[in-house]
Amino acid sequence: MNLAIFASGNGSNFSAIIKAIKKGRIKAGSVLLVCDKPDARVIRRAQKAKVGVILVRREDFAGRADFEAAIIRRLKSYKIDLIALAGFMRMLSPDFVRKYCNRIINIHPSLLPAFKGSHAIKDALDAAAHFTGVTVHFVDEEMDHGPVILQREVRIAKKDTLVSLEKRIHSVEHKLYPQAIRLFSEGKIKIKGRKVEISNP
């Protein structure tokens, strides 16, 4: 399996995935980082891990179609089988998603469909929810919506702050995302309609 990890920021999930690959938990051939921010910390993480980096800045293109076309050309040259979104701060177009149907996954810090969007952890705290969690799901044409692969619950304590809850959620993410990628690489994930079936996890 050839893997592309899309990220725009710190890259802690990127590092968790790379660590799992290096420990042999995920069997991967080519691995590369696709990033749209030249100052993102994830680029330094990739360089340290000796992972190839494709930097594609949105401002270098007239429109989103040209921007995505440039990414797709590079993905094809690496024969990418799976795209893992790990803090990539751009919505992919429906055309892009259709080209890689059931081959794009995302991680989200809530138990979807609860608390969609970019402030999911804060929204759970503001709602005084008793629990939230982490979801790994296939990407479809709607935001935070595709078929769920794995979920884990995270309890919210009365003393939790945004910082403390984020820390515990990220800890779960760093285990759950590599697990989902491993299942995909081993051919253990099947999609039937909106449902995901996992064989021999």
What gap in Å lies between CA 85 and CA 89, rounded to an integer?
9
Give the active site residue among 108, 130, 170, 174: 108
Residues 6+ apart with CB under 8 A from 92: 68, 104, 139
The token pair at 44 is 């330094």
CA-closest candidate to residue 170, choices 86, 70, 94, 113: 86
Sign for the CA dihedral angle at 161, 162, 164, 169 comes to: positive
What gap in Å lies between CA 32 and CA 183, rounded to an integer?
19
Q: Is 108 a catalytic residue?
A: yes
Q: Which residues are catalytic?
A: 108
